[in-house]
Amino acid sequence: MIAILKKEIKTFFVSPIGYLVIAVFLVLNGLFLWVFNGTYNIFDTGLASLNPYFELAPWVLLFLVPAVTMKSFSEEKKQGTLELLLTKPLSHWQLVCGKFMGAFILVIMAIIPTTIYIYGIYELGNPTGNIDFGSTTGSYIGLLFLVGLYAAIGVFASALTDNQIVAFILGVFLCFFFYFGFEGLSNYTFFGDVVYTENLGILAHYKSMSKGILDSRDLVYFLSLSALFLLLTVLKIKNTNS
C-alpha cells in the first residue's frame, strides 16, 4: 500500500494537478472570505468567526475532491494498467486504500495553510483573542472526516468507469447527494407521513462536529460510510478483474 501511496503522491506533484488543487482551494476560499462581498465575507458578517469558512469549504471540496480522484482507477482502466497493478503482490484492499490515502493526503495539504485564518480571527476579535477554539478545532476535525468521505466516494466513482469526466460527474453528484440531498429531502411528506432524513446525510453530522462536540455517532457515521464506499470499490475492482 505504501508503494501505491507514494506513486499517487508523486503523480500528483509531477503533473500540475497537485499544485492546481492546492492553489484553487486556497484562492477560492481567500476570495470569498476576505475579498468578495457576500454572506461568506468575514468582514461583512461583523463577527470574528471562521464559521463562513467551514460553511464554504465543503462546497468547494465537493468539486475539488472528485477532480483529484477521477483518475484513480478510470485512467488505469483506460491505459490497461489496472490488470498490471493487480498482478503485483498486494491485495485489492491495499490497492484501493493506497489510491484513497493519496487523494486524502493531497487535499489535507491544501487545507493545512488555511489554519493561518485562525491567527487572523484571533487578531480581529474584540477583545483580541476572542475566538472559540473548541468550535474551531471541532470544525477542522469535521472537515478532515468530510474530506475522507468525499475521497472514498470519489475513488468509488472512478472505479465505475474508464472515463475521467464521467468519474468526475458521478463523484460530484454522489458527494452532493450525501452532503445536501438528505437534508433537502427531510421534512417532506410522503404518503401522508413526514419523513426526517437529515441524519442520513453528511451535513447534519458535519454541523454537529462544528459545534466542537465530538459525538461518537458522528464519528461512526463518517468512518462507516467511508469504509462502505471503499468496500464497494474493492468489490468493483474484483468484479472487473474476474
C-beta neighbour count of 180 within 10 angstroms: 16
Instruction: Give residue 219's pLDDT.
Output: 94
Which cell numbers hold the place of 30?
481567500
Instruction: Note the pLDDT of residue 145.
Output: 96
The pLDDT, as a whole number, for residue 54 is: 94
Residue 15 CA to residue 31 CA, distance in Å, equals: 25
3-state DSSP assignment of residue 189: strand
Q: Which pLDDT belongs to residue 193? A: 55
Q: How far apart are CA 137 and CA 210, in angstroms?
A: 8
> Domain segments of the chain: what residues?
2-241
pTM above 0.85, yes or no: yes
In whole angstroms, what is the distance from residue 221 CA to residue 49 CA?
A: 27
Beta carbons of 197 and 117 less than 8 angstroms apart: no
Site of grid cell 476579535: 125
CA distances from 19 to 5, 73, 147, 151, 190 (A): 17, 21, 18, 18, 47
Mean pLDDT of 126-143: 86
232: closest CA among 176, 155, 166?
A: 155
The confidence score (pLDDT) of residue 241 equals 60
Q: State the average pLDDT for the chain.
A: 88
Cα-to-chain-centroid distance, residue 35? 24
pLDDT (average), residues 23-41? 92
